[in-house]
């Protein structure tokens, strides 16, 4: 990954100095491009970037989630942990997955010492979330479609999904509050 990134950078630096009729350069270009393809694929598949949910929307989402003490709440891409903190304050066992290392460390720092919050480094698509009482998320539209086709199908009856802004393409929301949208399985 690091090697590929360095090669990509080198290619970008060399490109302006090389003539397009230069055969060795073209061969090098194709080789480097092939090596860079996994990086390009990763960039194309990238998940939502870290954009924190505003405080007002956090409150709206908590209202929709109607969390009861002991509920298991997952945040899919927990960012700095603000939704986990809000859920834990309602008595939930709050679990967040985060794939970006700096953001994960920030969430660990912000939730340090809170026994009912677990911040985990990892890809939530690869986790078993079937014990969720509540899922909160702030994803992208195309990720909501994947969510509907995968995680949603494995949720237990009565599980609540509260999404910031983005809706499930084929399921009617149960309620809306500000930018929060609630679905009940
Ligand atoms: C839009 S932010 C939302 C952060 C937080 N949930 C909030 O509402 O404030 C989305 C977060 O999901 C993380 N993320 C994206 N794809 C992920 C994945 N597959 N597994 C874990 N985290 C992911 C990003 O790094 C980012 O921090």
Q: Residue 3: its pLDDT value, please? A: 47
Question: Can you tell me the distance from the alpha carbon of 185 to that of 173, in angstroms, rounded to the nearest whole number?
Answer: 10
Q: Residue 2: its pLDDT value, please? A: 43
Query: What is residue 61's three-state secondary structure?
Result: helix
Q: Residue 7: its pLDDT value, please? A: 60
CB 90 within 8 A of CB 62: yes
- Is the CB of residue 29 below 6 angstroms from any atom belonging to ligand 1? no
Helices in 75-137 by DSSP H: which ranges?
82-89, 101-110
- Is the CB of residue 57 below 6 angstroms from any atom belonging to ligand 1? no
Q: Whose CA is nearest to atom 13 of ligand 1?
A: 77
pLDDT of the chain, 185 residues: tens digit per residue: 444 555 666 666 766 666 666 766 666 665 665 665 655 555 555 567 899 999 999 999 999 999 999 999 999 999 999 999 999 999 999 999 999 999 999 999 999 999 999 999 999 999 999 999 999 999 999 999 999 999 999 999 999 999 999 999 999 999 999 999 999 99
Q: How far away, in angstroms, is 112 Cα from ligand 1 center? A: 19
Instruction: Kindly give, in sequence order, each residue whose CB lies less than 8 Å from that of residue 47, ignoring residues fewer than 6 positions away.
Output: 77, 99, 139, 140, 143
- Is the CB of residue 129 below 6 angstroms from any atom belonging to ligand 1? no
Q: Residue 97: its pLDDT value, please? A: 98
Q: Whose CA is nearest to atom 26 of ligand 1?
A: 50
Crossing angle for the helix pair 2-14 and 23-44, nearest 10 degrees? 130
Q: Whose CA is nearest to atom 19 of ligand 1?
A: 123
- Is the CB of residue 124 below 6 angstroms from any atom belonging to ligand 1? yes
Q: What beta strand segments (E) does the chain contain?
A: 72-76, 93-98, 117-121, 134-137, 160-164, 175-177, 180-184
Helices in 15-72 by DSSP H: which ranges?
23-44, 55-65
CB 73 within 8 A of CB 67: yes
- Is the CB of residue 97 below 6 angstroms from any atom belonging to ligand 1? yes
Which residue(s) pair with 95 in the sheet?
74, 118
> Tokens 């490109």 sit at which residue?
15
Q: How far away, in angstroms, is 78 Cα from ligand 1 center? A: 5
Chain Cα centroid distance, residue 81: 12
């Amino acid at each position: 990954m690091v090697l590929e990134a360095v090669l990509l950078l080198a290619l970008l630096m060399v490109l302006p100095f090389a003539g397009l009729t230069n055969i060795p350069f073209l061969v090098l270009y194709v080789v480097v491009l092939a090596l860079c393809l996994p990086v390009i694929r990763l960039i194309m598949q990238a998940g939502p970037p870290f954009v924190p949910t505003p405080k007002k929307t956090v409150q709206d989402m908590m209202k929709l989630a109607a969390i009861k003490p002991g509920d298991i709440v997952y945040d899919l891409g927990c960012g700095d942990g603000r939704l986990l903190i809000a859920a834990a304050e309602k008595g939930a066992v709050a679990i967040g997955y985060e794939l970006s290392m700096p953001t994960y460390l920030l969430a660990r720092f912000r939730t340090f010492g809170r026994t009912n919050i677990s911040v985990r480094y990892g890809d939530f698509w690869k986790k078993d979330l079937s014990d969720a009482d509540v899922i909160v998320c702030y994803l992208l539209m195309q990720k909501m479609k994947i969510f509907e086709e995968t995680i949603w199908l494995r949720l237990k009856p009565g599980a609540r999904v509260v999404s910031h802004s983005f809706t499930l393409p084929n399921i009617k929301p149960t309620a809306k509050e500000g930018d929060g949208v609630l679905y009940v399985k």
